[in-house]
Amino acid sequence: MNTPMKFEPAALLQEARDKTGLTDFGDPAFEEGLAVFCNALETDARLSDFGRQLLHQKLIELLTNRLGIEDWYRRHPEIEDEVIEAPLVIVGLPRTGTTLLQRILACDPQFYSMQWWETRYPVPFPDESVECPTRRLEQARAEVKVMIEAMPKLLTIHPMDADQADEEVVLMEHSFVAALNTYGHVPSYLNWLAKTDERSAYRHLKRIMKFLQWQKRQRGIVAQRWVLKAPHHLLRMHLLLEAFPGVRVIQTHRDPIDTIPSIASFLHTLWSIYSSDASKPAAGAEWSDLMARALRHTMAVREQAPEQFFDVQFIDTVKRPFDVVRDIYAFAGLTLTPESEAAMHRWMEANRREDRGAHEYSMEEYGLSEAQLKRDFADYRARYVEPYRR
C-alpha cells in the first residue's frame, strides 16, 4: 500500500528545483505562506488520496512557475521596464455579473486582459516561443474540457473557457498569500492570512502582470491598461489602491441573500474535488463570514477615496449591459469606439447565459438562513440593495 504523500515545504521546494534546474524563487516572502498552507492541508483539509495528488501537482506548478518567472526576468531584464498603467478593476461578490462585465470590456483592444490559459500557464513551455504559445493554449483547452466533462456543475456556476478573460486571483496563488481556501477547508490558513500583511501578494501580482504584458507585446498585442476582476480584492481594497495608484474600481452589487448560498455551493463543489468529506455547512459559514468582512472593509475604504469607485447593479448588467458599459467608460474617462462596441455585441450574442444549465441549490443545505444573511449584511444591504429594489 502506498504511503500518502506529505506536504513538506522543503521537499516541495527541492522537487521544483530538481524539475527545472533553477534555484531562484524570487522574493522569499512566499515561504511562510507555503509552510502555513502545507500544515493546513495536513491538519484541516481532510484530503482524499486523489486530492493529495492533485494539490501536490498544483504546489509544484506554482513553485516551478516562480522559478521560471525569475529566470525570464534574469535573461530579459527589460521586463522590469514594463509600465502597468492604472487598471480598471471589477470587484463584487461572485454571482453579481463580474465575469460578464470583464469579458465584455475585454473585447476592446485598448484593454489588456489575461485569458484563463495565461493565468494557468504564465511561463512559456521549454519547447515553445513567447511569440507562439500554442502548446500552453492547447493544454489549457484540454484541461477545461476535462473539468467540464468530469464536473458539469462547474459550468452552471462559472463559464469556464480557456480562451476568455478570467481572474488574476489565480496568479496571486504564486505568493501563497491568496485565496487558497478554494482548494479545501483550511481554517488555520485563513486565520493566519487574516493577520498577515498581504502586500507581498500584490507585489508579486504586479511582477507577473509585467511578465504577461511583455509576452503580449512580443505577440504584437499593445494596449493602454488592464481590465482586471476578482472578488478577492474586496477584503484587501486598501492594498489594491496602494499597489495600483489611480486605479478605477467598478463595484457590482446584488443582494447577498441571492449570492452567498450560490457561492457556498461553488466553494463546496471545488472542495469536493480534493476531499470526499467536504462539509456544506462549513462552506456556507466560511464564505458568508469572509464576504461580510470583505464588504465592510471595502465600504470603509470607499469613504477615503470615493472618486475611485463606480457602482453597477446586477440587474442593470443583465437588462441593459451596453448602457452600463457606456457609463463605465464615462466614469473612467475612456472612449468607446464603434468598432469596440460592435465587438462587444458579437461577444454577447455568442455567449448567451441561457446556453448554460441552471445552478440548483438550497440555502438551508449550506447552513444559511435569510434572517442570518440579513443580519450579517445589514449595512451593505441598506446602502447598496434596498434603495435599488424595483
What are the mean pLDDT values of the chain's consecutive 10-residue runs (390 residues total)? Answer: 77 98 98 98 96 96 98 98 98 94 97 96 94 95 86 70 94 97 97 97 98 98 97 97 98 96 91 93 96 98 97 96 98 97 96 61 91 97 90
The helix/strand/coil state of 192 is: helix
Alpha helices in the chain (DSSP H): 9-20, 30-43, 49-75, 98-105, 116-120, 134-150, 153-157, 169-172, 187-194, 199-218, 237-243, 256-274, 280-302, 314-319, 321-332, 338-350, 370-376, 378-384
Burial class (CB in 10 A: 0-12, 13-18, 19+), 110: middle
pLDDT at 149: 81
pLDDT at 360: 63
Under DSSP, the state recorded for 115 is B
- The model's pLDDT over 53-106, given as tens digits with 9 standing for 90+, comes to 999 999 999 999 999 999 999 999 999 999 999 999 999 998 899 999 999 999
pLDDT at 146: 86
pTM of the model: 0.94
Structural domain spans, the chain: 9-388
pLDDT at 389: 79
pLDDT at 1: 39
- The model's pLDDT over 295-346, given as tens digits with 9 standing for 90+, comes to 999 999 999 999 999 999 999 999 999 999 999 999 999 999 999 999 999 9
CATH topology of domain 9-388: Rossmann fold (3.40.50)
pLDDT at 147: 80
Is residue 284 within 8 A of residue 368, CB to CB? The reply is yes
Task: Calculate the CA 147 to chain-centre distance.
Answer: 17
The length of the chain in residues reads: 390
Computed over its alpha carbons, how large is the radius of gyration of the chain? Answer: 21
